[in-house]
Amino acid sequence: MQQAKSCGVIVLRNTPKLSFLLMEKPNRYDLPKGHVEGNEDELSCALRELQEETGILASDLEVDVRFRFVETYHTRYKRFGKQLVEKSVIIFLGWLKHDVEIKLTEHSGYKWVDWQPPHLIQIKTIDPLLKQLDEYLKSSNGC
């Protein structure tokens, strides 16, 4: 079975209040993420995709390398002739150091969502990510 890996960053900010960044597509929300290219490592891929899709630079973030969310599932991919593929999504945590201007390239919009768990946004990846992040933040006194 073919395998695919996407990596991304969930971006949190503390001001004006604790919130996280969601990207808008016409029919759903998503995170800034994309496929690993060549010999790229997961974090490099995540930071590259973040910059490409939002304009946020690695230097704009404090990356918390202790947090790593992984979701693996089976899906059909056009790029693989619509055959069944095992896809892994890896999400890292990035804390925004200062305000940034979001520059859209692949999405129709974005929004900052107030941190008020539990969140019910997208059952497949985003909700489990936010649940794991909530547990992580509580255990590490991160918020």
Cβ atoms within 10 Å, residue 99: 9
User: Is the distance from CB of 9 to CB of 32 less than 8 angstroms?
Assistant: yes
Q: Does residue 143 surpass a pLDDT of 50?
A: no
Q: Does residue 140 surpass a pLDDT of 90?
A: no
| Phi/psi at 16 (5° precision) | -70, -20
The strand pairing partners of 108, in sequence order, are none
Residue 37 corresponds to which amino acid? E
Cβ atoms within 10 Å, residue 72: 11
Tokens at residue 143, please?
A: 């918020």
For residue range 86-133, list pLDDT tens digits in order: 889 999 999 999 999 999 998 999 999 999 999 999 988 999 999 999
Cα separation, 19 vs 12, in Å, equals 6
Average of pLDDT values for 10-27?
Answer: 94
**Domains, the chain:** 2-140 (3.90.79.10)
